[in-house]
Structure 1
Amino acid sequence: MATMKDVAKLASVSTSTVSHVMNGTRFVSDDIAKRVQDAAQQLNYHGPSAVARSLKQNCTKTIGMLVTTSTNPFYAEVVRSVEQACYQQGYNLILCNTEGDAQRLKRSLTTLIERRVDGLIMMCAMLEGDDALIYRRLGGLPVVVMDWGQVDFPCDKIQGHSRQGGILATQYLIDNGHTQIGCITGPRNRQQADLRYQGFVDAMAAANLPINPDWVIEGNFETEGGKAAFAKLQVAGKLPSALFVCNDMMAIGVLHEAQRSGVQIPEQLSVIGYDNIQLAKFMTPALTSIHQSKARLGAAAVNALIARLHDPSLPPQFMDIEPRVTERASVKKS
């Protein structure tokens, strides 16, 4: 098996030069670099393994990500943006799906620690109570929490400004002449869902509009939850003129169930969603939605983590990604 000395001899350079070319640790002229690479190829020499380099440098150039699996394409779009940002920064990404299960989350966390990831991005439900003790195993591993709830350990946090998004969605309906407005929330025990609902309450109060409790229904952030919520609205009696549905997947379920029931969108019921997933523009009618940039969420999380790796003494960062309305055809205008 060829050694670094063999490559150095064939390329007529020192072993340290071969090391610099293989590891990219110092500038080497193009001519010398080519000689070394040609010699290495001729001798079938691949240099030290990535594992060996990581053990020596205490850096694997790898980031771990924990995410809750969901049918919601929002997560896939965020993961794609994280992977792209990692690639641009020269890092690899290891993705683990938790399936919303605490035991699977623990096992995935252990796996990532054993794989010696440099840092961790979390976009999944937080452990609570005694289960949170597992985070003591992080041993100072930098962590960024994305678009989720409260955590009880120091970390950087990147999220969409959900309360402001709820205000924007509701105000958009009000600005288009709607006064009888309902809201299909996500699970209210999750911070992002509750903040979007609080934004709805804020906007209704600011406009001196009453909230009909029959028109506020808790959903589950999935398509079936939107369908079930719309069915409950119909059972309750008269429909509102407009609905703020707190994510696009539930809004798609609402559109499906409304059309199946003969309720015309937006002529009889206007609908605004949240997340602006790519599928929203292909619905019939195309779904008006609150846009939060998945690309900015992903890039901000990766950048915050790498900044922490370079300077562990930085104070915890907290960044909101500002939402905005993306107008389409599902809201009737006054």
Structure 2
Amino acid sequence: MSATIKDVALLAGVSTTTVSHVLNKTRFVAPATHERVMRAADELHYAPSAVARSLKSKNTKSLGMLVTTTLNPFFAEVVKEVERQCYQQGYNLVLCNTDGELEKTTSYLLMLSQKRVDGILVMCSEYDDSLFGAAIGKRDLPMVVMDWGPSGDYVDRIQDNSLKGAHLAINHLIEQGHRQIAYIGGPLEKLPARQRYDGFFEAMAEAGLSVRPEWVIESNFEFEGGRLGMRALLACETLPSAVFIGNDAMAMGAMSEAQLAGIDIPAALSVIGYDNCLYSAYLSPPLTTIDQPKRRLAEQAVATMIERIDNPRQTGRVIMLEPDLVIRSSVRALSKK
């Protein structure tokens, strides 16, 4: 049987209240008494109940995280960094993979709110603002959205500047001499896809370049989405010299489809992706891409969450992270601008 706080108090010759103050550091206790309590706790291998501690402090030192899928390399890398940050800050992470299903999202959200986590991190493409608002309203749970998730005033958002990232991608292609540029992206109802789509058109317009409607293809953000998007592009009567693809997972699927069709990358078609996932440097050819700072995203999200737990507030804020261009070998230089 596990030792109790009463056992520690009896062995140390003090009250249970004194033991509680020593273990929870809630009041000054004389050094000699402190030493006796700690020695008794060590001898009895006493471990305070996390549940009891959380009921008293109303703080579980646990965070929940809703993520669309850990199979997507971008999500997997972000989750790894979030877990690292939680561990360094003394928090446990409860990870919930929704698999893109609204029903699972609803179930997990309910479970997290009932399990008394201190806050919820969200990187979830399938959501309903009213669903999240109702769930966190019951306990006034802090919520931080990492690019994908509800956009209500009750959440903090850590966002990648996807509009700027798209400009960086298109400007790089233009600098390498490309004028006929296509776009394959994710569903436009999702904020990152819409921003990259808008950034593509803005950058093309600023350069005075027209966009062929058949070269703008909407798909999904997975490997299969890239494959299907490239298949649609290859079916066009005329091919572009370059294509900007909405994320690296899509770019991998698209490059595979193009190469299976005998298209040489980058000799016949230049490709630039988005996210700078770990594997993008190991593709053939290595993928030129836009770096979305995953470690900074995780650090900022966890820091914002802890700050909000310590200092509750009703209104959210938006924190923007800036992307960078990573040049590799998948873009061919036709001529310098």
> 1:268–1:187: structure 2 CA closer, same or farther, 3 Å change rule?
same
- Structure 2 counterpart of 1:148, one-letter code: W
**Cross-structure match for 2:47:** 46
**Cross-structure match for 1:163:** 163
In 2, Cα distance between the equivalents of 1:25 and 1:281?
51
1:194 equivalenced with 2:160 (yes/no) = no
> 1:330–1:53: structure 2 CA closer, same or farther, 3 Å change rule?
same
- Structure 2 counterpart of 1:259, one-letter code: Q
1:7 equivalenced with 2:11 (yes/no) = no
Identity over the aligned pairs, expressed in percent?
49
In 1, Cα distance between the equivalents of 2:332 and 2:284?
14
Tell me the TM-score normalised to structure 2 length.
0.90
Tell me the TM-score normalised to structure 1 length.
0.91
C-alpha contact 1:245 1:274 (8 A) present in aligned 2: yes
**Cross-structure match for 1:208:** 208
C-alpha contact 2:227 2:254 (8 A) present in aligned 1: yes
C-alpha contact 1:308 1:314 (8 A) present in aligned 2: no
Unaligned runs of 5+ in 1: none
Query: Deviations for 1:18-71, whole angstroms, at most 9, x for unmatched residues?
Result: 334433446779987665444324334333x10001011111111111111253
> 1:83–1:90: structure 2 CA closer, same or farther, 3 Å change rule?
same
In 2, Cα distance between the equivalents of 1:293 and 1:27?
44
Q: What is the total number of aligned residue pairs between the two structures?
A: 333
Secondary structure of 2:65's aligned partner: strand
**Cross-structure match for 1:147:** 147
**Cross-structure match for 1:298:** 298
Secondary structure of 1:236's aligned partner: coil
In 1, Cα distance between the equivalents of 2:28 and 2:212?
69
Q: Which has the higher mean CA deviation after the structures are superposed, 264-273 or 127-136?
A: 127-136
Secondary structure of 1:271's aligned partner: strand
- Structure 2 counterpart of 1:82, one-letter code: V
**Cross-structure match for 1:321:** 321
- Structure 2 counterpart of 1:202, one-letter code: E
C-alpha contact 1:67 1:122 (8 A) present in aligned 2: yes
**Cross-structure match for 2:113:** 113
> 1:236–1:7: structure 2 CA closer, same or farther, 3 Å change rule?
same
In 2, Cα distance between the equivalents of 1:10 and 1:128?
55
Secondary structure of 1:325's aligned partner: strand
Deviation at 1:223, TM superposition (A): 1.2
**Cross-structure match for 2:281:** 281
**Cross-structure match for 1:74:** 74
Instruction: Tell me the C-alpha RMSD between the 2 structures.
Output: 2.4
Q: Give the 5 Å matches for 1:224-235.
A: 224-235=224-235
Secondary structure of 2:82's aligned partner: helix
Query: Deviations for 1:210-257, whole angstroms, at most 9, x for unmatched residues?
Result: 101121111211111111111111211221111100100111112111
C-alpha contact 2:85 2:298 (8 A) present in aligned 1: yes
C-alpha contact 2:241 2:270 (8 A) present in aligned 1: yes
**Cross-structure match for 1:258:** 258
**Cross-structure match for 1:249:** 249
> 1:178–1:59: structure 2 CA closer, same or farther, 3 Å change rule?
same
Query: Deviations for 1:78-124, whole angstroms, at most 9, x for unmatched residues?
Result: 11111111111111111111122222111111110111011111111
C-alpha contact 1:149 1:190 (8 A) present in aligned 2: no
Secondary structure of 1:18's aligned partner: helix
